[in-house]
Amino acid sequence: MDSNELLHMAREAKAQAYAPYSGFPVGAALYCEDGSVFFGANVENASYSLGVCAERVAILKAVSAGRIRFQELAINSDSEQLTFPCGACLQVMAEFSPDMSLSVTVSNRDLDYMTFTLRDLLPFAFQLNQGNSK
Ligand code: THU
């Protein structure tokens, strides 16, 4: 699976976004180590803070289907600019990529893209058992 192919899937997933409040649909496609792919789209709510990002939808679908090892997560929106995951989504990615090696491919509406590692995007993730215990 190359990044471009995964991005096209993220763009398809974006069509299922439920984003009536922001008007900012986002799609995500998550490539798992076993070769399966899970899709996500953002799902908003009238109680705004309950909205869930496309990335977390894809990850939670995968985990709840028994996949916890991932190679790449691709993200697409209609923006002219590259759409990067929010901090909350990065933290959820870190949960399932303890070595922070997950590839994260961000794109714009034209499918121009860049790929980063999770470590690039979240260099100081919160992880347990690193002196954080109290
Ligand atoms: N959103 C995502 O789904 N993923 C991102 O990477 C950025 C933001 C959603 C959250 C909200 O539904 C809308 O985009 C506007 O912030």
Q: Measured between alpha carbons, how far is 83 from 42 in angstroms, rounded to an integer?
A: 13
Per residue in 72-116, pLDDT (tens digit) is 999 999 999 999 999 999 999 999 999 999 999 999 999 999 999
Q: Which atom of ligand 1 is nearest to the CA of 56?
A: 3
φ, ψ for residue 6 (rounded to 5)? -65, -35
Percent of the chain with pLDDT over 90: 93
Is 85's C-beta closer than 6 angstroms to any atom of ligand 1? yes
Reported confidence tier of residue 133, pLDDT bands at 50, 70, 90? low
Would you say 76 and 83 are in contact if contact means Cβ atoms under 8 Å apart?
A: yes
Name the residue among 42, 101, 94 with its Cα closest to residue 72: 101
Distance 86 CA to ligand 1 centre (A): 8
Reported confidence tier of residue 28, pLDDT bands at 50, 70, 90? very high
Q: Which two tokens stand for residue 9?
A: 């899937």
Is 72's C-beta closer than 6 angstroms to any atom of ligand 1? no
Q: Which atom of ligand 1 is nearest to the CA of 26?
A: 3
Interacting residues of 61 by C-beta distance below 8 A, sequence separation 6+ = 38, 39, 40
Q: Measured between alpha carbons, how far is 13 from 38 in angstroms, rounded to an integer?
A: 9
pTM of the model: 0.95
Q: DSSP letters of 25-91?
A: -EEEEEEETTS-EEEEE-B--SSGGG-B-HHHHHHHHHHHTT---EEEEEEEES-SSPPPPPHHHHH
Q: For the chain, what is the largest distance between any 2 Cα atoms, rounded to a whole number of angstroms?
A: 47
Residue 55 annotated in active site: yes
Distance 27 CA to ligand 1 centre (A): 9
- Note the pLDDT of residue 128: 87
